[in-house]
Amino acid sequence: MDPIPDHLQENLKIMFVGFNPSIRSSETGWHYANPNNRFWKILHEAGLTPRKFLPEENSKLLDLGFGLTNIVARPTKEAAEISTEEYKRGAEKLKKKIRLYQPVAVCFVGKGVYQQYSKKRVISWGEQTEPVIQGIAEYVAPSSSGLVRMKLDEIVEIYQGLHKYL
């Protein structure tokens, strides 16, 4: 399976970071392409996008100042298939991307993504008080996977906290 392209550029307001591409994303080349993933719905309901974008429009988020990448590029059926070594290499590559593009904030789409990146174990939702890279806000939001058991309203409310970076 092929990795999918990042959608990153300078002057981003928010860089969204997921675990890794799903099989469906690898097949299509689009971020958050699995029909059970609620990423696009969450962004819209949180008021971050003017409408619900489709996965095939993922590059249009750049026009809103939003970028898309993953901590690990290799597509898998589930995040449990990612090795410790892949996370370690991915975290180092992600730090380089963040330093290169200098977004206002980085939103980690899932606590597990941030745990792998920061090596911290106790993490709260929202902005982190001690960012790994000084000067760039690090924000932790729930995964948009349909497997997440939180109520959608609760997830949307956490994503609404990203408005402070717009």
Average pLDDT in the chain: 96
Kindly tell me the number of DSSP H helices and DSSP E strands found in the chain. Answer: 5, 5
Does any domain span residue 11?
Answer: no
Residue 146 structural domain: 26-165
Q: Are strands 66-70 and 126-127 parallel, antiparallel or unpaired?
A: unpaired
**Residue owning tokens 């924000």:** 139
As for how many domains the chain has, the answer is: 1
The whole-number pLDDT of residue 80 equals 84
The CATH number given to whatever domain includes residue 44 is: 3.40.470.10
Q: Which pLDDT does position 108 carry in this prediction?
A: 98
pLDDT tens column, 67-114: 999 999 999 988 889 999 999 999 999 999 999 999 999 999 999 999
Whether 4 maps to a domain, the answer reads no
At residue 3, the pLDDT reads: 87
User: What b/e sequence results for 64-74 when a residue is b if at least 16 CB atoms lie within 10 Å of its CB, and e otherwise?
Assistant: bbbbbbbbbbb
Residues of the chain short of pLDDT 50, as ranges, are none
